[in-house]
Structure 1
Amino acid sequence: MATASKHAPAATPASYEAALQELEQLVAKLEAGDMPLEQLLTQYQRGAELMNFCRDCLAAVQAQVKVLDQGVLKTWTSDER
């Protein structure tokens, strides 16, 4: 029984902190273990997206710190994620 996707693509989090908070809530739901299988898979995929977003944010900040540590000052923008 194939079904079409019932959900729109999830929005990009507004910030690292928002993504982390959503991820923590998601983990709590997954650990509860009372989700139907289809919803479990969807939530797992969202968790993977959030983890990638957080990883990208941290990498951008790490790159900026490296630049600052080298004594080269430049303006950091969120586009560098």
Structure 2
Amino acid sequence: MIRVLYFASLRERVGVAEETVAPPPEVRTVAELIQWLRGRSDIHDSALANPAMVRIAVNQDYAQADHPVRAGDEIAIFPPVTGG
């Protein structure tokens, strides 16, 4: 199981703050997880469709698309942070 946390506008779009998921074994990277999550519903697909608007942290460390994901990981998904 992987714990997925959604933040800010992505949380609002998906409609939940977190969910626990069990992706298939072939989901081994952040990019594959995002693609799999998009296939879960039209809402997920719409919220995660634009890679430029999605940042990922794996176990509280920023991660790139090729970063591995494993059972027990915590994946945080959030929009880019802006300052001002």
**What TM-score do the two structures reach when normalised by structure 2?**
0.23
The structure with the greater share of residues assigned to helix is 1
Greater relative contact order structure (CA < 8 Å, 6+ sep): 2
